[in-house]
Structure 1
Amino acid sequence: MFRKDVVIPSGAIALALCIFSTQAEPLKATQYGDFDRYVLALSWQTGFCQSIIERNRNEPPECRMQKESDRKTDFLTVHGLWPGLPKSVAARGVDERRWMRFGCATRPVPNSPEARASRKCAAAETGLSLSAAAKLNSVMPAAGGNSCLERYEYAKHGVCFGFDPDAYFGTMVRMNQEVKESAVGNFLAQNYGKTVSRRDFDAAVAKGWGKENVKAFKLTCNGSPAYLTEMQISLKASTINNPLSAGSFAPQPHPGNCGKQFVIDKVGY
């Protein structure tokens, strides 16, 4: 459990992050581990917040507090890490559509309590350590507080696999940083607030990880003109504990809905 209204000395946070980075355990499923891929979901936070406003919904705290940053890649934030449909679950008659909708609440297995997007804070606490929570909080704006995104994500996509919470969220934090430091992250930062082409985005993927991995990136846009809200990156389960490389990615059938051109949204766009 962690709360954003608790003030922790900066020195303690720095020490916690250091300990977390050196002691993170590998991510390993202790049950239902017979799946072949993960999807790493990363939000473009300014676009996500704009989409909330346009849908006339109450603006969440993490969007109301959004500020400009000199490091534009800070707006590439963690949404979640979603294991694919395990073969042992599919053998019970569960298809991809049902798995994506219910995750760990899928029947007849794994039969965990359903996590509802409208009631994220009703999900059980994750059991994250202080050091892991501090690190996650820096890249998942909706973690903790009144938003509880980490509870929802773990309840839907993590708990039924027996994932260690620190390893599960630590893997997201690590890969988010690797994407930020890649040619893709550089592309997003250089084009902050600009209209870009899907072709140029794909070229950044190819530059960083090879042309064959362009199809591993699914982009989601909203609005007219379209602006980026999220990228979903398909990854081989067998490489999840390794640094991202050309061999990490798995193609997926749909490129997303961003079309030929879209905007890399900025704060207050």
Structure 2
Amino acid sequence: MTTLIPSSTYLLLSAIAALVLFPQTSLALEPVAGAFTASKSCPALLSTKKKTNPGNIMLERGRSYETLGLNRVGGDKLLIKIPNAPKSSQRWVALACGQLTGTAAKSATPKPSSEKPKATSKSLESKNNVLALNWQSSFCEDLPHINECRQLNKGRLKQAARELTLHGLWPQPRANEYCGISQSLKVQDTPSNWRRLPDPKLTRRTERALEAAMPGYQSHLHKHEWLKHGSCYKAGGGAEEYFDDSLYLLDEINSSRVGRFFRDNVGHKVSANDIRAAFDAAFGKGAGKRVEIKCARDGQRKLITEIWVRLYGTISRDTPIADLIQAARPARKSCNGGILDRAGLQ
């Protein structure tokens, strides 16, 4: 004999099943099948309402994830599966942080609407920026006592001795600093106090990359850069995206003909025109005019200390750095040339 289940009981059982399968989702989950490939480093949240992220899990650019569902038909949040994530492998991410493939792409297509779209985190992200890069050997002539300079001068930072290193990524105009930072925290932002500043929320992968690309990490420079400049970058992925974008730009320059020019001329005197010509060769005619060269005196010598690269546009691995440079306004030279100092006190 077949026992009929009342409709109210059936709905209750369905709801319980949904909670078991998707403990952190709403019951309005729109199931999708396919894959999601991350194009940005964004947080993977356990709960979108509470903004909880156990383990500080971030999307890895270029990695594909299994999709589970959207927050609604044509929604803007996607539930994906991240194996071994603490608490739950099911995490919510912003749909704008990547691309869907397969059936998922069709499910995510939004319905036409006459409503004015709301501003997204991407639309708020700083588009007018300066990428500040150090020539570490010159910097260390003036501060040989700090830890990273002692390491450099002992020959332990071989990469920093022959390549440009990261100082910071600065939203413009220059007065655009300390966004949303309390006055009490701003007054603590001095070099002698950097170690006491709050740690930016970063994955271990990004921390390791910063340790190699930013020698000043040993002196907690990254904390200062995030507080003063990163707070105004307004990337949806927070500090992780800010530094990930900075590292991407640095890698693009060091792996280009600009990086080769610097490696080939360590210890030699070069002109600002030579440096700008290297940028033209790497990123197109006119790119060099968007580069400002900074110098400092060391006794009778003039040393090249920094390169400031102007950028305009949304920074993404999908946007060539050449396009970002070409779209920016021209920069002054500041310095006509100097020596690319060798590591060690001269």
Instruction: Please classify the TM superposition score into its range, dividing by the shorter chain length.
Output: 0.7 to 0.9
Alignment match of 1:232 (pick from 302, 308, 330)? 308
Residues 236, 31 of structure 1: CA spacing in aligned structure 2 closer, same or farther, 3 A cutoff? Answer: closer
Higher relative contact order, chain-length normalized (CA < 8 Å, sep 6+) = 1
Summarize deviations over 1:81-126 as a string: whole Å, max 9, x none.
11114xxxxxxxxxx5x43xxx115xxxx45441623222232110
Percent identity reads: 25
Stretches of structure 2 that go unaligned for 5 or more consecutive residues are: 1-58, 65-95, 98-119
Aligned match of 1:46: 137
Rounded to whole Å, the distance in 1 between the matches of 2:139 and 2:239 is 25
Question: Could you tell which deviates more after superposition, 239-248 or 182-191?
Answer: 239-248
Stretches of structure 1 that go unaligned for 5 or more consecutive residues are: 1-18, 54-58, 86-95
Alignment match of 2:190 (pick from 117, 122, 126)? 117
Question: CA shift at 1:242, angstroms?
Answer: 3.6
Rounded to whole Å, the distance in 1 between the matches of 2:146 and 2:158 is 23
Aligned match of 2:252: 178
Rounded to whole Å, the distance in 2 between the matches of 1:245 and 1:31 is 18
Question: CA shift at 1:31, angstroms?
Answer: 9.0
- SS of 2:305's partner is strand
Aligned match of 1:251: 329
Aligned match of 1:62: 148
Residues 230, 111 of structure 1: CA spacing in aligned structure 2 closer, same or farther, 3 A cutoff? Answer: same
- SS of 2:142's partner is helix
Rounded to whole Å, the distance in 1 between the matches of 2:249 and 2:181 is 29
Question: CA shift at 1:45, angstroms?
Answer: 0.7
Who wins on radius of gyration, i.e. which is larger?
2
Rounded to whole Å, the distance in 2 between the matches of 1:247 and 1:238 is 10
Question: CA shift at 1:34, angstroms?
Answer: 6.8
Residues 21, 267 of structure 1: CA spacing in aligned structure 2 closer, same or farther, 3 A cutoff? Answer: farther
Point out the structure with the larger strand share: 2
Q: Output the amino acid matched with 1:48.
A: F
Q: Output the amino acid matched with 2:225.
A: E
Question: CA shift at 1:228, angstroms?
Answer: 1.0
Question: Could you tell which deviates more after superposition, 30-39 or 179-188?
Answer: 30-39
- Aligned residue-pair number: 223
Rounded to whole Å, the distance in 2 between the matches of 1:149 and 1:75 is 18
Contact 1:77/1:140 (CA < 8 Å) preserved in 2? yes
Contact 1:121/1:152 (CA < 8 Å) preserved in 2? no
Please list every run of at least 4 consecutive aligned residues from structure 1 whose deviation after the TM superposition is greater than 3 angstroms. 19-26, 29-32, 68-75, 110-113, 160-163, 239-245
Aligned match of 1:155: 227
Contact 1:218/1:254 (CA < 8 Å) preserved in 2? yes
Contact 1:31/1:160 (CA < 8 Å) preserved in 2? no
Rounded to whole Å, the distance in 1 between the matches of 2:201 and 2:160 is 31
Residues 68, 267 of structure 1: CA spacing in aligned structure 2 closer, same or farther, 3 A cutoff? Answer: farther
Question: CA shift at 1:238, angstroms?
Answer: 2.6
Residues 51, 219 of structure 1: CA spacing in aligned structure 2 closer, same or farther, 3 A cutoff? Answer: farther
Aligned match of 2:283: 209
Aligned match of 2:178: 104
Point out the structure with the larger helix share: 1
Aligned match of 2:294: 220
TM-score, structure 1 normalization: 0.72
Aligned match of 2:242: 168
TM-score, structure 2 normalization: 0.57
Rounded to whole Å, the distance in 1 between the matches of 2:230 and 2:122 is 11
- SS of 1:248's partner is helix
Rounded to whole Å, the distance in 2 between the matches of 1:117 and 1:237 is 31
Rounded to whole Å, the distance in 1 between the matches of 2:135 and 2:160 is 10
Question: CA shift at 1:222, angstroms?
Answer: 0.8
Aligned match of 1:197: 271
Q: Output the amino acid matched with 2:224.
A: Y
Rounded to whole Å, the distance in 2 between the matches of 1:251 and 1:42 is 18
Question: CA shift at 1:52, angstroms?
Answer: 2.6
